Structure 1
Amino acid sequence: MASASVKARAWLAIEHPGPWPEYTETMDVPDPIARTIEAAERLGIRCQFIRRSGRRRQTPPLWVYAGHCATDGAPADTVWLEGRELTDPAELGELDLAGLASGVRPGFGDPVAGPLLLVCTHGRRNACCARTGAPLARELRARFGDAVWETTHVGGDRFAANLVCLPHGLYYGNLGVPEAVTAVEAYLRGEVVLDRLRGRAGLPEPAQAAEHYVRLDSGILGVEAVRVESLSGNSPYEAMVTAAGRRYRVMIEHSAGTDPCGPLCEENLDTYVLEALTLLNEATLV
């Protein structure tokens, strides 16, 4: 819980069959891709390389996805995903990266109606991601088809196998096949599953925790039904959260975590504990 990538609001996923080195910054890619990744990261866009499970095709052609997840009280229409298959990497020059970073649809590709399901299999970064992620990606692709891609590091190696559901930026971790299938099926019907849910990308960690505790208390699972409107303070943090017409004040305490799996798993160690959750009103309930 509360361990999804905080800075990942805008996303850019580019097909590359690999091999993937430990750090993607050192990857040998065509100049148009390298320039796009460099410019995108300067703007705060989360960049991922993706590939199909099993026999890998050479690129180009290559698939590129751009998307944005609504955060910090933003309206739901800022959640979107576009996809396009490029015949030449130079076509990336048409992508409005500044618009993407600010949440504006660039019109670079066609709207993607279904989800993009990214399973981290970046074994050079952490062996657990290949050992647990690769077979999970194969199983999910067998069930859910072209929505599923292997991807580079998403953060939180100690939670492998990791799954990111775009465009909403939902992170799930410590997944086996049954838990992953349950999470994907819930996402396809517009819901979250609290079991193994790490949080929602783009939100500060205390806000992710506040959303989780409100869902746990209320039983409200709709992806769009719970929204963190504000976050203030510094342990305890105070979050104002709306959920299906209800308004909550949530007080969250920070707790420093310890590394359970050695020095290679140094990310996402902190935890957030519920201090108080208060229902303020039900005035808009029918």
Structure 2
Amino acid sequence: MTRACEHPDGSHTGAVPNLASATVGARLWLLVEYDGPWPSHLESFELPERISKLVQRALERGIRPQLIRRPGRRARPQEQDLRVLVGYAVGPNPWLASGVIAGPEDLDLDALVAGVVPESCILEDEPVFLVCTHAKRNACCARIGLPLARTLAENWPDRVWETSHVGGDRYAANLVCLPHGIFYGSMSQAAAIAAANAYRSGEIILDRYRGRAGIPEPLQAVEHFARTHTGERSVGAVAVESSRSDGDVTEAIVRCGDVRFQVVVEPSVLQAPCGTACAEQITTYRLVSLDRLRPVRYATPALT
């Protein structure tokens, strides 16, 4: 059943805080092209047998499965080889690879789990952009996502895909940038183009930035506040070196370029501007403190 919401006040415009909301369980990705109807939940396995088996194998290994299709007119699904993309969105050197397979057993998902490109795939040298348009999951994802996907595809026709549910319907339209797994939400067409251009240049735009997938939400918040404080935009320039939690409070040491900070955050619950299926209460994060750490200086031993 499609979840719909009524937004007379123009929600999904970025008014609701969306920081630290990227999907935590998405460090490994499997994208399967399928032009047929998408079920509301992939784990229901209401798909052709080959795709259902591939989705099941992915779920058993902790891999995030997604259905994808090109923006625009739908082609009638035919029995043919499957086009797939696999993504390893872990650490400072993520990668994305693509291939065409005859069946689910032809894709070595254990290799992906180990961080190795499966033999049936080749590395991609350009980023890929996913826009959630999953109408059976939430009507707003299709209503806002479809025109956004078409606009992005006009700029990068070979790098943009519509995709099934990515998490966070209340933040539609959602944009995912692979291979890093960078999430944006509440995207207008202009904001999506700006975010895609920035990512192609190795940068992040903090406006409507949800975080990086696969990272615990408190640490996504830590990164967000460190970037806000320093203005650091480079995708790989910010890293959490260590962290600890005491109840709801999380303290972390964060490196921004050559500078390190101690950042403390805690959750904060806000009432959304519209009480709908898409947005009721929103859990976000509040910055408690952010302090620059002095570099450790070691004394030079005296020569004898």
Q: Is this a same-fold pair by TM over 0.5?
A: yes
Q: Displacement, 1:19?
A: 1.4
**Aligned pair in 2 of structure 1 residues 109, 259: CA closer, same or farther (>3 Å)?**
same
Mapped to 2, the partners of 1:257 and 1:232 lie a distance apart of: 25
Mapped to 2, the partners of 1:241 and 1:132 lie a distance apart of: 35
CA contact (8 A) 1:122 1:151 kept: yes
Letter in 2 for 1:182: A
Moved more, 210-219 or 93-102: 93-102
Match of 1:217 in 2: 229
CA contact (8 A) 1:245 1:282 kept: no
Q: Indicate the percent of aligned positions where both proteins have the same amino acid.
A: 46
**Aligned pair in 2 of structure 1 residues 138, 194: CA closer, same or farther (>3 Å)?**
same
Q: Displacement, 1:102?
A: 3.8
Mapped to 2, the partners of 1:44 and 1:27 lie a distance apart of: 16
CA contact (8 A) 1:129 1:161 kept: yes
1:164 to 159, 176, 179: 176
Helix, strand or coil for the counterpart of 2:158? helix
Mapped to 2, the partners of 1:246 and 1:130 lie a distance apart of: 42
Match of 1:132 in 2: 144
Q: How does 1:120-269 map to 2 (within 5 A)?
A: 120-233=132-245, 234-262=247-275, 264-265=277-278, 269=282
Mapped to 2, the partners of 1:267 and 1:30 lie a distance apart of: 35
Helix, strand or coil for the counterpart of 2:20? coil
Letter in 1 for 2:39: P
Q: Displacement, 1:33?
A: 2.0
Backbone CA RMSD of aligned residues = 2.0
Q: Displacement, 1:282?
A: 5.0
Letter in 2 for 1:83: S
**Aligned pair in 2 of structure 1 residues 43, 267: CA closer, same or farther (>3 Å)?**
farther
Q: Displacement, 1:225?
A: 0.8
C-alpha offsets along residues 190-241 of structure 1, whole Å, 9 cap, x if unaligned? Answer: 0000001011000000000100111111111100111122221132101111
Q: Runs of 5+ in structure 1 lacking a partner?
A: none
**Aligned pair in 2 of structure 1 residues 62, 39: CA closer, same or farther (>3 Å)?**
closer
Letter in 2 for 1:98: D
The question of 1:85 aligning with 2:105 is answered no
Moved more, 196-205 or 244-253: 244-253
User: How many residues get paired?
Assistant: 276
The question of 1:22 aligning with 2:40 is answered yes
The question of 1:276 aligning with 2:289 is answered yes
Letter in 1 for 2:248: S
Q: TM-score, normalised on structure 2?
A: 0.85
Q: Displacement, 1:269?
A: 2.8
Q: TM-score, normalised on structure 1?
A: 0.90
Q: Displacement, 1:13?
A: 0.4
**Aligned pair in 2 of structure 1 residues 115, 215: CA closer, same or farther (>3 Å)?**
same
Moved more, 46-55 or 20-29: 20-29
C-alpha offsets along residues 74-107 of structure 1, whole Å, 9 cap, x if unaligned? Answer: 3x23x01001134x3x1x3132222323433323
Mapped to 2, the partners of 1:269 and 1:107 lie a distance apart of: 43
Mapped to 2, the partners of 1:267 and 1:39 lie a distance apart of: 34
Mapped to 2, the partners of 1:268 and 1:202 lie a distance apart of: 23
Q: Runs of 5+ in structure 2 lacking a partner?
A: 1-18, 298-304
Mapped to 1, the partners of 2:134 and 2:261 lie a distance apart of: 39
